[in-house]
Amino acid sequence: MMLTEQNILFIGLGNMGFPMAGHLANAGFNVKVFNRSPAKVANWLANFKGIATSSHVDLVENCNFVVLCVGKDDDVRELLTDDNGIISRLAPNTIIIDHSTTSTELATDMAKAAELHNCFYVDAPVSGGQQGAINGQLSLMVGCDDVVFERVKAVTAPYTKAIVHMGPVGSGQKTKMVNQICVAGLIEALAEGLFFAERAGLDTQKVMDVVSQGAASSWQLVNRHKTMIAGEYEHGFAVDLMQKDLAICLQEASELKIELPATRAVSGFYADLQADQLGHCDTSALLLRLQKRKSAG
């Protein structure tokens, strides 16, 4: 059987999942979709070829792959192993590819549950943001058995620019934690740099133009400084989601008995934004936090 003749159940049509599932449909896969919000399902079906029903349980028959792109540990457990979960209903050798960012404990638990039913669970968190999902240019960090990695690589190819097998289940989530630790520090540094330039009376755009050509450059600087200068914070990954991820990072660090002082500090800064009812803003709102506190002082 050709790979594109196989059936995929894609669960989670948010900012990331919507275009990812679309890339699979455009690549010729037989795609079934489920989302708790019927409006998102209807919108997806208006743009791509596929099928849907009101219950994810109704869609598992004849699926070769189940792809998840949801919010947190509890969402994954509910979908896979709770009373209305689907793992027990899957055919043997079905591969579950979980793009959610979760704890390693969740990944390990789901892998054990899948193994009991002769299926495979793969933790494959992504990096690249909403724009990367739209462009089909995501990076995947994968934890799974060696025997399924090549199949995972092939089926995710329509929305992937890079994919690396990091090791056994759980390794993908640990790698994503490294990603989030690094990103959080970069965004705070960029926010502080912009804030300093602003208060020093510099032309912030000229500052960014010159420092982006040197060692201070980063993806965050190149792609976010203009919107930060403009005070626009509705682009991509939300503060609430980053806080969830950083909590996972800090919990894992505690279990490893190590300190992450910068990560803990940035998590506190995001908590300030949440306290100001700004959890819906994107993660670059760390600059807004500095500006608000200066104004309040």
Set 32, 176, 292, 294: catalytic member: 176
Amino acid identity, position 209: D
Amino acid identity, position 26: N
d(CA 9, CA 96): 9
Question: If we measure between CA atoms, which residue out of 194, 281, 267, 278 comes closest to residue 237?
Answer: 281
Amino acid identity, position 252: E
Kind plus residue range of the DSSP H or E element containing 33: strand 30-34
Token pair 């790698």 is found at 175
β-strand pairing of 160-167 with 120-123: unpaired
Compute φ and ψ for 244, nearest 5 degrees. Answer: -60, -45
294 is catalytic: no
3-state secondary structure 130-191: HHHHHHCCEEEEEECCHHHHHHHHHHHHHHEEEEEEEECCCHHHHHHHHHHHHHHHHHHHHH
Question: If we measure between CA atoms, which residue out of 279, 276, 20, 210 comes closest to residue 134?
Answer: 20
CB 195 within 8 A of CB 291: yes
Catalytic residues: 176
